[in-house]
Structures are given as structure tokens and as C-alpha cells.
Amino acid sequence: MTNSNGFVQVKWQEGVLTENGVNGAQINDVLHVALERLQELNKQYPCRENSIAITKLEEAVMWQNKRTTDRIARGVEGTYQT
């Protein structure tokens, strides 16, 4: 969403999904949106810097997915436990 100044505003997820349901964006949602936008721009205006930024966003998504996988394996995903 954008505010009256034209800036993006993100409504972040409040609480865990198991207790609150989906009520906002999570980090991975924003990473995916940024990644898709940058990939679109890089098709039109390719450059090394865009390619590196795409790689780093893909890496960020990978690490967030690893975190989730690890939390599922430990039985703490969807809780406030570390």
C-alpha cells in the first residue's frame, strides 16, 4: 500500500499465524515482491548490479526458508519459542 506521500507502507503480521491467522505481511512476502520487481526491471534494463541484488534477495529468501524448516523440525514453528 502507499500512503498519501506515495511511499510504500507495509502492514506487518501481528502475532503468530496459529493464534492470529494471516493479518499482514511477513518478511518473505516483502522479499518475494522486491525480488519479482527487480527481476522485471532487470529484463528491461539488465546490469551487473541488478543481477547481484537479485542473487542476494534469493539468498535472503533461502535463509528465511531454512529458518522455517529448522523451526518445523524442532516443533516450534507457529510459536513464540526460539
Taking only the tens place, the pLDDT of each residue in 25-73 is 999 999 999 999 999 999 999 999 999 999 999 999 999 999 999 999 9
The pLDDT value given to residue 45: 96
Whole-number Å distance between alpha carbons of 60 and 58 = 5
**Residue 28, burial from CB neighbour count under 10 angstroms (0-12, 13-18, 19+):** middle
